[in-house]
Amino acid sequence: MFHQPYILHIYSSRAPYQLTILTCNNQVLQKITVLSPCTKICLCTNDRHVKLIAQAGNQTLFRAINLCCNFFHHLWVDLYFPQSQVSITLNDANYDLPIANATLNFQGVN
Amino acid sequence: MANYEVTITDGVGSRTMNLGTYTVSATSAPGYDLSTLTPTSYTVDATSQTGAFTLSANGTLTINFNETGEAGGIPITAGSVAMTNSTGETQYGTVTQIDTNGVATFNNVPYGSAQAPYTLYFKQLTSDATHNIYPGVFMVNMGAQTQTKYVQNTPITSLQNFTLTDANYTDLPINSATLSFAENA
């Protein structure tokens, strides 16, 4: 067996997230929790292609990586989790009067 | 986990957020009870969306409608009034009735302090049969949790023309006289 070590440089738009690296035959090579938006993964495999599954909250991203494309065995991967534009209204509960000034805090739970 | 602060101005704000579920709290809202924010959970999905939130206040405003617009004036006996925007074109909440003592009470209104009052606007919609409504919009600066406002409703008047003639010589006008009209109790 000849293993080619590869370095995956991964940037994610949100962290933490769950990262799973699989072979084309869905054999799990690595499964980790990534805490930082920028991370490096050392990958030793004889497979030419691997699959990445990144999960954060209720979002899942899929990536197909061709390991043979990079001569230097370094690959850069961007994971952009879609965001959504949210409009907020804040009114008086008793008079439906728009509240002049306020600040709301949204704390993620997953 | 993602954490966002959304600034609200005149009832609206917006922000780009990661998808997911959030716990929401009000960290600032002068005039309002922050603990009354509803709802306190919000889920952002893949489509652009609008989240509607509310807050409650616990101030009380008593408006007295009378002939002088000051304490002690003769009160009106009926009517209606509504909270509005500064131009009076938009009404907020339900119309409030003025009782037989000329009083209209607004509960759960926002309030500030004497140094930084919360400004509210009102428009009188109707008065009783013998008084004129207050013209236009009137402003109330709520600088305390409980506050009283006096608003003037002038009596309705009507120009009357009188003739005084001799009872025995028809149509002979009486040169000079003074008549007194005293309102019945």
d(CA B90, CA B69): 25
Same domain assignment for residues B96 and B148? yes
Average pLDDT on B85-107 reads: 96
Tell me the Cα Rg of chain A. Answer: 20
Of B46, B83, B107, the CB nearest to A84: B46
Domain membership of residue B160 (yes or no) is no
Partner-chain contact B21 A110, CB within 8 Å:
yes
The pLDDT tens digits for B33-57 are 999 999 999 999 877 689 999 999 9
Which residues from A are below 8 Å from B81, CB to CB? none
DSSP string, B115-183: SSPEEEEEEEEE--TTBPPPPSEEEEEE-SSEEEEEEE-PBP--------B-SSSTT-B-SS-------
Q: What domain range includes position B11? A: 1-56
B89 in contact with A, Cβ within 8 Å: no
Looking at residue A2, its pLDDT comes to 46
B71 and B130 assigned to the same domain? yes
- Residue B29 placed within a domain: yes
């607004």: which residue's tokens? B106
Beta-carbon contacts of B4 under 8 Å, excluding residues fewer than 6 positions away, are A105, A106, B15, B17, B22
Same domain, B52 and B63: no
The reply to whether the predicted model has a pTM over 0.80 is no
Which residues have a Cβ under 8 Å from the Cβ of B172 and sit 6 or more positions away?
Answer: B165, B166
Which residues 69-88 of B have a C-beta within 8 angstroms of A?
Answer: 83
Report CA A42 to chain centroid distance, whole Å.
Answer: 17
Q: Give the pLDDT confidence score for residue B70 in this predicted structure.
A: 96
Mean pLDDT in residue range A8-37 = 92
Is there a single domain that holds both residue B50 and residue B128?
no
Q: How far apart (Å, rounded) are the C-alpha atoms in residues A12 and A38?
A: 7
Does B6 or A4 have the greater pLDDT score?
Answer: B6
SS3 of residue A50 by DSSP: strand
Residue A110: band (very low, low, confident or very high) from pLDDT cuts 50, 70, 90: low
Whether residue B178 has pLDDT greater than 50:
yes
Same domain, B72 and B23: no
C-alpha–C-alpha distance, residues A5 and B102, integer Å: 87
Task: Judge whether B183 lies within some domain.
Answer: no
Last residue of a domain, one of B39, B56, B73: B56
Chain A residues inside the 8 Å CB shell of B28? 101-103
Cα separation of B75 and A32, whole Å?
76
Residue among B4, B17, B18, B60 with most chain A CBs within 10 A, to mutate: B18
Residue with tokens 């010589």: B169
Is the confidence at residue A4, as pLDDT, over 70?
no
- Residues B33 and B88 reside in one and the same domain: no
H or E stretch at A104: strand A101-108
Q: How far apart are CA B151 and CA B138, in angstroms?
A: 8
Indicate the number of domains in chain B.
Answer: 2
Residue A45: per-residue pLDDT: 84
Chain-chain contact of A85 with B14 (C-beta, under 8 angstroms): yes
Q: Are A56 and B19 in contact (CB under 8 A)?
A: no
B148 shares a domain with B135: yes
pLDDT, one tens digit per residue, over A67-86 is 875 667 888 999 998 888 99
Q: What whole-number distance in Å separates Cα of residue B121 and Cα of residue B138?
A: 6
Residue length of chain A: 110
What number is the ipTM of this complex? Answer: 0.82
Task: Tell whether B77 and B97 lie within a shared domain.
Answer: yes
Looking at the complex, report in whole angstroms how far the Cα of residue B6 sits from the nearest Cα belonging to chain A: 5
Q: Is A3 a residue whose pLDDT tops 60?
A: no
